[in-house]
Structure 1
Amino acid sequence: MFRFAVAVICAVVLADTLRGTSAGMSMDQVKQTMKMVRNVCQPKTGVSVEMVEGVQAGNFPEDNNLKCYMKCVLGMMQSLKNGKYKPDAAMAQAKILLSGDTRDRVIGAMEKCRNAADGITEGCEVAFVTTKCIYNADPDCFFFP
């Protein structure tokens, strides 16, 4: 629990620090932030590293641990709250953290998936469906811890 709290605090502080800038983070900084999120969510959910790494390549097996890992990640990124996807919060984070064409493409993918999980009530499934939709909307700029 302590690691989770520290990671959330770090992510919020980093986002708040960058809020005043329009440049966003470098891809190396994004990857470091994502690594921190993975280091909290992967052990918490028990999903295998191989399964997590497969998501980046577009592999979305029907696995409950993977789905709940996605819920943890989206929750840490303030994009999922009470089992509901918060696209406006997700896009606000993307605006803060990313820059240029990458930011615009990620936000576009998020917008396309705004309602992907409508009617789904279970939080892990909401996260899974939303993440898979965002990947399919623009796999070339998709990144996930």
Structure 2
Amino acid sequence: MRLLLSFALCTFFLYRETEGAMSEAQMKAALKLLRNVCQPKNKATNEQIDAMHRGDWNQDRNGMCYMHCILSMYKLITKENKFDWQAGLTAIEVQAPDSIKETAIHGINSCKDSVKTPSDKCIAAFEIAHCFYLDNPDAYFLP
């Protein structure tokens, strides 16, 4: 599994550097891969993840740590548990399909200072993801 993930991430970053933005299908595949890696690692249930997509952010530690895994894979959270919004902007500008660029950039800018609890990596990631959702629930794109 680790080898598959490493290969997928390397392919993802090489593609980014050589080809430009991903297609919608490639974006969905990348999100599915991240969910398939982070969900079992953090014991988050389908119900928990689906609840976040519906706006129910009443999560236990597993759901919060799932979001940390997702943001870590995207390299959007620093070792100090701060949102690396500059890396997010760069990634969106280079990788994202045109259909989500504008709303994703707006969300990143809106959520620059969303971390209120940097002492806990899972809560910090949860705060970032929740901010993305609140910024535009219809355009929430995290897996």
Query: TM-score, normalised on structure 2?
Result: 0.88
- What RMSD over aligned residues (CA atoms) do the two structures have, in Å? 1.8
- Paired residues for 1:8-47 under 5 Å: 8-22=6-20, 24-47=21-44
In 1, the alpha carbon distance for the partners of 2:127 and 2:2 equals 24
In the superposition, relative to structure 1, how do residues 21 and 74 fare at CA in structure 2: closer, same or farther (>3 Å)? same
More divergent stretch after superposition (28-37 vs 84-93): 84-93
% same residue: 25
Give the equivalent residue in structure 2 for 1:137: 135
In the superposition, relative to structure 1, how do residues 101 and 29 fare at CA in structure 2: closer, same or farther (>3 Å)? closer
Give the equivalent residue in structure 2 for 1:99: 97
In 1, the alpha carbon distance for the partners of 2:83 and 2:3 equals 21
Deviation beyond 4 Å, 4+ runs, structure 1? none
Aligned residues of 1:55 and 1:144 also touching (Cα < 8 A): no
Aligned residues of 1:8 and 1:76 also touching (Cα < 8 A): no
Say yes or no: does 1:49 pair with 2:63.
no
Deviations along 1:21-58, one digit per CA (max 9) or x if unpaired, are 44x12222111101111111000000111111222222
In the superposition, relative to structure 1, how do residues 50 and 4 fare at CA in structure 2: closer, same or farther (>3 Å)? farther
Give the equivalent residue in structure 2 for 1:72: 69
Structure 2: state its 5+ residue gaps: none
Give the equivalent residue in structure 2 for 1:115: 113
In the superposition, relative to structure 1, how do residues 4 and 77 fare at CA in structure 2: closer, same or farther (>3 Å)? farther
In the superposition, relative to structure 1, how do residues 101 and 58 fare at CA in structure 2: closer, same or farther (>3 Å)? same
Structure 1: state its 5+ residue gaps: none
Aligned residues of 1:120 and 1:126 also touching (Cα < 8 A): yes
In 2, the alpha carbon distance for the partners of 1:124 and 1:20 equals 33
